Amino acid sequence: MISHKLSVAPMLDWTDRHCRYFYRLMSEHTVLYTEMVTTGAILHGKGDYLSYNNVEHPLVLQLGGSDVKAMTECAKIAEQYGYDEININVGCPSDRVQNGRFGACLMAEPSLVADCVNEMQAASKVPVTVKSRIGIDDLDSYEFLHTFIDQVAQAGCQHFIIHARKAWLTGLSPKQNRDIPPLDYARVYKIKQDFSALEISINGGIKTFAEANNHLQHIDGVMIGREIYNSPYLLAQADQQIYGVEKEVISRQQVINSMADYVDAYVSSTLEQGNAYRNPRAWHVLRHMLGLCNGLAGARQFRRYLSESAREDGANGNTLKQAFAKVTMLNDQI
């Protein structure tokens, strides 16, 4: 049984398998999510979009789609791959997602989401969860959200991750939808009060573990996205501060050493799984590490060196160590 007290949000082009490996080094218990993978990619794509490293568990597949049959087939495949959960994307507001009739627009079709949940759970033993907004466009009343949760929960969904902003499906870009609609944490808290038997996680605008622990006084879990991507070393204290585990905090130096080995193994591999990249290159991994030294003297030099050198032919784990040397010479303890 997964503890969802803390999770890293699924983020397109960001939370790929290299990023998740990096995050798992720093936190044993934080739940990790894949980027959203569409049913079309899984069923008809030429690459293996579901591959991952076994150390990534607990790991959730975020699935994009709305065709019940296709969603059910993907649930069966995800079970074969060993994913811990499957999460249905009912929160992304992008035009591309809307054109595929999934993402946030599905909030207007709770019966369809319920059918997907019901059939997926009947076909697979993997729990199915839903990530949504608090509303869409002018459908943003508490009653609208309550009805959506109620109908989907009756189909068997026991865990909802709610981004505490509504989504404007027209007029705002996906980036603007992450910032402009106001946050309404109280609405998510009320959902938990009204559906006390359900597991409710909250997402949106959370930047510190102090904030996360405050939310955990009201709901069951907290999901953080951009803040962790931009300052990933935050995760190094997640097990202690969120899960109450007594253990030594991994140092940045230890993270660097482990990731340097990972990069060397990756760039020397002859077969890159999936279609994300045609050739293994250090930049595919190191791009996720640019914020590792944020807050330290030399962080800017670290980012600049990685941004420039990790893109070059022949870049490897030593490139990462060289970047980190620009930080170590300016800090006594890291």
175 pLDDT band, cuts 50/70/90, is confident
What pLDDT score was predicted for residue 274?
45
Please tell me the class of the 252-328 domain. Answer: mainly alpha
Q: Are 235 and 255 in contact (CB under 8 A)?
A: no
Closest Cα partner for 240 from 222, 213, 207?
A: 213
- Domain parsing of the chain, residue ranges: 6-241, 252-328
Which residues have a catalytic role annotated? 92
Q: pLDDT at residue 270 above 60?
A: no
- If you average pLDDT over every residue of the chain, what do you get? 93
Q: Are 64 and 92 in contact (CB under 8 A)?
A: yes
Q: pLDDT at residue 271 above 60?
A: no
* CATH architecture, range 6-241: Alpha-Beta Barrel (3.20)
Tens of pLDDT, residue by residue over 235-259, are 999 999 999 999 999 999 999 999 9
What pLDDT score was predicted for residue 97?
62
Helices (H), ranges, the chain: 17-26, 39-44, 68-81, 95-99, 110-123, 142-154, 174-177, 185-194, 209-215, 226-230, 238-241, 252-267, 282-286, 299-309, 317-328
- Higher-scoring residue by pLDDT: 237, 169: 237
Q: pLDDT at residue 334 above 70?
A: no
Q: Are 64 and 100 in contact (CB under 8 A)?
A: yes
Closest Cα partner for 212 from 55, 27, 14, 59?
A: 27
Tens of pLDDT, residue by residue over 114-140, are 999 999 999 999 999 999 999 999 999
Q: Are 288 and 14 in contact (CB under 8 A)?
A: yes
The mean pLDDT of 133-158, rounded to a whole number, is 97
How far is Cα 232 from Cα 295, in angstroms, rounded to an integer? 11
278 pLDDT band, cuts 50/70/90, is low
